[in-house]
Structure 1
Amino acid sequence: MSINKLLIAMALGLALTACSKQEQAADAAASANEAAADALAAADQAAAAGAPAADAAQAAADTATTAADASADAAAQAAGAATDAAADQAADAAKAAEGTAEKAKDAAEEAKK
């Protein structure tokens, strides 16, 4: 009986770990999406103000949008991952895309100045 309880506890632990990776990936995708929205707003403001770097701001916003899409795709892969290692890789990809989106947002905001 105690071996069964141990196996059940281990299975629950693995399930919680997988959920945690899925949640991390989903959080990264949400953050990347928010960064892309901010970048698009910055690009729109730059264009409306006639800023000389409006094209650069738009390019950065496009990059942020692409990164947000990649992060969302990685989050979906993490949610459907069959193994913990696959969930880890997908969550890492989502976080990396989130970082790219954040950098692109910063570039768009800088370009609008």
Structure 2
Amino acid sequence: MKKVVLSIVMVLALTLSFTSCRETKEKTEDTVENAEKAADDAANTVEDTAEKAKDAAEETADDLKEAGEEMAKDAKDAVDGAVEDAKEAGKDAIDKAKKAGEDAVDKAKEKGSKELDKAADKIKGN
């Protein structure tokens, strides 16, 4: 009887050991699968983040390029405006100088004419 009881205990112990090992193996396989999924998810997240960073950098570069072009256009417009203002100021100065010269010539003619008339009157009066 002792042998039978010991045999039964031994069989139960072996059964529990095999069951326990089987469960451990299944848990290990689940853990490995979960770790693989987590690694894949992490890799995908890194890829997505890198792609977003690249897109943001490209967008920033485009924005900077557009801003530079806009600044260049504004600078060109400012220079063109300054050139036009300088041309207009030069034209106004020339017109004023021309008018002053014409006024001076007219005054000189008028004065010369008066002096000529005086000289003619003096000749007639003599």
Q: Report the structure number with the largest CA radius of gyration.
A: 2
TM interval, short-chain normalised: 0.3 to 0.5
TM-score by length of 2: 0.39
Higher helix share: 2
